[in-house]
């Protein structure tokens, strides 16, 4: 039975059965796939057709060894590496190792190695990130290490107040070198006329650059700078003149020192240059100026003058021109040489016009010329200053370290006088160096030698002298110096209750309290003009240590960077920020400690 236009009935049924079979087959395949995911897959390799010779051969049965049904015996493995300690245990271990090494070096007499080990031990604790105050074990270790180190330092490095550096003063050149000033139109003719009437052994160029500083030095602030320099020049003029003459150099080079420091031996620049001739550390060492824990010969006026004269002579021999020699003294011969090579001119004023020198150096030579013009004819510029007289001295060689307070008490002079005569001393103690020369007021050397003999030389760094005042007793004096009355009586061959006469001198067997030699970790924010080596020199730390403390790879710092510095005695002296005539920034107010606000902060006592 068929229907027109439609497929036969059986055909439809057959197609339906095919579709149902296909569906069942597809479902079976899905189930097969699912089972395959659960069961291991076996590969059935078809047997090879037997050859004619082996068709009837029996295949030998392959016997397999039984699989083990028990686990193999357990073996005990040995861990070859030592156990890793916890963070605090590891810290304590490293600190104790460094501390033990420091003690061993100290007892062997290797003081520099001992100091490095002790510093490393304390640095491990300070930089670990752990709060030692909150952990009894760390707190005990910290105080034991620090207290022992202080005791060793007092003994080995002759502390007294010797860990505290003498305060520095700002270098005069820092205040002026980056300024620009207007030129007084009426000043040029007067200055040129005055220059014709003065004798000089350096060229004196009178141009707008020089006149701008002549104009500044007649303002109240500029006048103060000039008058301070002219007053202090009296102390050193005779000595500097003699040294320049011995070295065969122009006498007018003395005004370079006036521009640099106004003759302040303790002048410290932002770049770390020191002394009346403003040597940076490496240049001073190049010309034989020693810088140790105890002394900095850049601050010795006579030794620094010899070094400056030799350096200036070398620079003049290099360029054959005093203005170029002065410029190289300020910024280094390398910078001047680059400027000459870039422009083809070996002339300072040509280099000035082509702007190939640092700004400070461009102003440096005009400043010196302006100061020379004014100093040689001060009255013409309405400048008045009475030069200070040279201070005659006696020179003694103590032969070993001695506390300056003991020296002052022995010869009856004040500490300010003694320190002013010995500006190269960084501490209140002399170095343990037999060749060191100590300057005393004239006429006191014999008294010093006679009275210091009453004190054992090995006590010169810890014992003191005391002049008895009316009403004082051995007991009251002992309380003042934190020693027993019996110790004072024994040192002076007195009865403990003996009456004392006013004006009598007593030997005090005292040791400086450790609290006066505290260490501090300070943070210093790098400012404009700072250099890496200048900062290291200012804090009296090595460049290697400064890099290590701040994880630096090179001797470079950038403005705004905050440096961690571990310094004995805390933050050292700093010079105030240089004045800027056109600066719009708010002036930094000094803190109570005398350091620029925010520049240095003490982090640890």
Average pLDDT, the chain: 78
What is the token pair recorded at 181?
A: 């000033």
Q: How far apart are CA 431 and CA 429, in angstroms?
A: 7
CATH architecture of the domain with residue range 169-381: Orthogonal Bundle (1.10)
What is the token pair recorded at 324?
A: 């170029």
What is the token pair recorded at 95?
A: 């600190």
What is the token pair recorded at 377?
A: 């004819």
Q: Which residue from 124, 103, 270 is spatially nearest to 566, judged by alpha carbons? A: 124
pLDDT at 597 over 50: no
Query: What is the DSSP secondary-structure string of 108-161?
Result: TT-HHHHHHHHHHHHHHHHTSS--GGG-HHHHHHHHHHHHHHHHHHHHHTT-TT
Report the pLDDT value the prediction gives residue 258, as an integer from 0 to 100: 94
Q: Which residue from 291, 292, 275, 214 is spatially nearest to 240, judged by alpha carbons? A: 275
CA distances, 107 to each of 116, 141, 154, 297 (Å): 14, 21, 14, 30
Res. 584 pLDDT band, cuts 50 70 90: very low
Class of domain 518-604: alpha beta
Report the pLDDT value the prediction gives residue 594, as an integer from 0 to 100: 34
Q: Which residue from 572, 585, 569 is spatially nearest to 157, judged by alpha carbons? A: 569
Res. 417 pLDDT band, cuts 50 70 90: very high
pLDDT at 364 over 90: yes
Res. 599 pLDDT band, cuts 50 70 90: very low
Pairing of strands 600-604, 438-441: unpaired
pTM: 0.61
Res. 580 pLDDT band, cuts 50 70 90: very low
Q: How do the domains of the chain map onto residue ranges? A: 87-156, 169-381, 394-513, 518-604
What is the token pair recorded at 314?
A: 């070398």
Q: What is the CATH number of domain 394-513?
A: 3.10.350.10
What confidence tens digit (pLDDT) does each residue in 205-229 have? Answer: 999 999 999 999 988 888 999 999 9
pLDDT at 544 over 50: yes
Q: How far apart are CA 382 and CA 370, in angstroms?
A: 14
CA angle 449, 451, 452 (to 5 degrees): 70
Report the pLDDT value the prediction gives residue 379, as an integer from 0 to 100: 87
What is the token pair recorded at 267?
A: 């002048």
Neighbouring-strand partners of residue 567: 520
518-604 shares the fold of 394-513: yes
Q: How far apart are CA 553 and CA 246, in angstroms?
A: 44
Q: Which residue from 582, 575, 595 is spatially nearest to 529, judged by alpha carbons? A: 575
End-to-end CA distance of the chain: 115
**Helices of type H across 277-300:** 281-286
Higher pLDDT, 519 or 414: 414
Q: Which residues contact 344 (CB under 8 A, 6 or more apart)?
A: none
Res. 33 pLDDT band, cuts 50 70 90: very low
Q: How far apart are CA 355 and CA 146, in angstroms?
A: 53
Report the pLDDT value the prediction gives residue 114, as an integer from 0 to 100: 74
């Amino acid at each position: 039975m068929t229907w027109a236009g439609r497929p036969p009935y059986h055909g439809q049924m057959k197609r339906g059965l095919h579709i149902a079979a296909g569906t069942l087959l597809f479902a079976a395949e899905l189930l097969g796939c699912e089972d395959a995911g659960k069961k291991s897959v076996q590969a059935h390799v078809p047997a090879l057709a037997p050859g004619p010779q082996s068709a009837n051969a029996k295949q030998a049965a392959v016997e397999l060894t039984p699989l083990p049904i028990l686990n193999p015996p357990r073996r005990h493995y040995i861990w070859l590496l030592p156990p890793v300690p916890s963070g605090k245990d590891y810290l304590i271990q490293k600190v104790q190792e460094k501390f033990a090494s420091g003690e061993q070096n100290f007892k062997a007499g290797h003081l520099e190695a001992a100091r490095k080990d002790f510093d490393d031990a304390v640095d491990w604790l300070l930089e670990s990130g752990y709060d030692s105050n909150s952990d009894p074990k760390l707190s005990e270790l910290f105080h034991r290490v620090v207290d022992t180190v202080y005791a060793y330092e007092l003994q080995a490095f002759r502390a007294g107040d010797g860990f505290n550096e003498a305060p520095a003063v700002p270098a005069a050149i820092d205040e002026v070198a980056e300024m620009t000033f207007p030129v007084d139109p009426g000043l040029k003719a007067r200055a040129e006329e005055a220059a014709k009437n003065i004798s000089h052994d350096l060229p004196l160029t009178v141009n707008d650059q020089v006149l701008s500083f002549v104009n500044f030095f007649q303002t109240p602030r500029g006048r103060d700078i000039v008058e301070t320099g002219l007053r202090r020049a009296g102390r050193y003029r005779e000595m500097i003149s003699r040294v320049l003459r011995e070295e065969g150099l122009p006498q007018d080079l003395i005004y370079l020192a006036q521009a640099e420091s106004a003759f302040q031996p303790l002048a410290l620049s932002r770049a770390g240059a020191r002394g009346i001739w403003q040597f940076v550390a490496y240049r001073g060492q190049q010309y034989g100026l020693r810088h140790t824990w105890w002394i900095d010969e850049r601050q010795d006026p006579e030794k620094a003058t010899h070094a400056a004269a030799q350096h200036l002579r070398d620079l003049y021999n290099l360029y054959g021109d005093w203005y170029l020699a002065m410029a190289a003294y300020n910024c280094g011969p390398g910078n001047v040489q680059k400027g000459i090579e870039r422009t083809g001119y070996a002339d300072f004023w040509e280099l000035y016009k082509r702007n190939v020198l640092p700004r400070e150096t461009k102003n440096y030579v005009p400043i010196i010329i302006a100061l020379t013009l004014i100093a040689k004819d001060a009255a013409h510029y309405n400048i008045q200053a009475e030069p200070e007289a040279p201070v005659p001295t006696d020179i003694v060689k103590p032969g070993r370290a001695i506390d300056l307070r003991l020296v002052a008490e022995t010869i009856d002079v004040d500490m300010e006088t003694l320190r002013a005569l010995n500006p190269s001393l960084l501490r209140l103690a002399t170095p343990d160096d037999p060749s060191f020369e100590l300057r005393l007021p004239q006429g006191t050397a014999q008294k010093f030698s006679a009275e210091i003999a009453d004190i054992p030389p090995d006590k010169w760094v810890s014992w003191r002298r005391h002049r008895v005042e009316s009403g004082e007793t051995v007991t009251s004096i002992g309380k003042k110096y934190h020693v027993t009355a019996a110790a004072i009586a024994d040192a002076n061959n007195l009865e403990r209750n003996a009456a004392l006469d006013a004006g009598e001198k007593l030997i005090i067997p005292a040791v400086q309290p450790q609290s006066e030699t505290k260490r501090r970790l300070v943070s210093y924010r790098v400012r404009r003009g700072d250099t890496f080596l200048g900062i290291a020199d200012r804090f009296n730390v090595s460049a290697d240590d400064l890099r290590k403390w701040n994880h630096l790879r090179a001797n470079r710092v950038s403005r705004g960077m905050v440096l961690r510095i571990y310094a004995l005695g805390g933050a050292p002296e700093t010079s105030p920020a240089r004045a800027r005539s056109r600066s719009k920034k708010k002036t930094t107010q000094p803190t109570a400690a005398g350091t620029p606000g925010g520049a240095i902060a003490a982090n640890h006592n």
